[in-house]
Chains A and B, each alone.
Chain A
Amino acid sequence: DQQVKQNSPSLSVQEGRISILNCDYTNSMFDYFLWYKKYPAEGPTFLISISSIKDKNEDGRFTVFLNKSAKHLSLHIVPSQPGDSAVYFCAARGVWGKLQFGAGTQVVVTP
Chain B
Amino acid sequence: NAGVTQTPKFQVLKTGQSMTLQCAQDMNHNSMYWYRQDPGMGLRLIYYSASEGTTDKGEVPNGYNVSRLNKREFSLRLESAAPSQTSVYFCASSDQGRITGELFFGEGSRLTVL
A42 in contact with B94 given A89-B43, A99-B103 (CB within 8 Å): no
A46 in contact with B48 given A97-B96, A98-B58, A101-B42 (CB within 8 Å): no
The interface bits of chain A over 25-55 (1 if a CB of B lies within 8 angstroms of the residue's CB, else 0) are 0000000101000000111111001000000
- Complex CA gap A82/B51 in Å reads 39
Number of residues in A with C-beta < 8 Å to the partner? 25
- Residues on A with C-beta less than 8 A from B41 are 103
A41 in contact with B50 given A89-B43, A102-B42 (CB within 8 Å): no
**Contact between chains at A45 and B100 (CB < 8 Å):** no
**Contact between chains at A93 and B101 (CB < 8 Å):** yes
Q: Which of A43, A93, A97, A104 has the most CB of B within 10 A?
A: A43
Q: In the complex, identify which listed stretch (B12-20, B66-74, B104-112) lies at the interface while the others stay far away.
A: B104-112
Residues of B in contact with A (beta carbons under 8 Å apart): 4, 31, 35, 40-45, 48, 50, 58, 90, 92, 94, 96, 99-108
Residues of A in contact with B (beta carbons under 8 Å apart): 2, 4, 6, 9, 32, 34, 41-46, 49, 89, 91, 93, 96-104
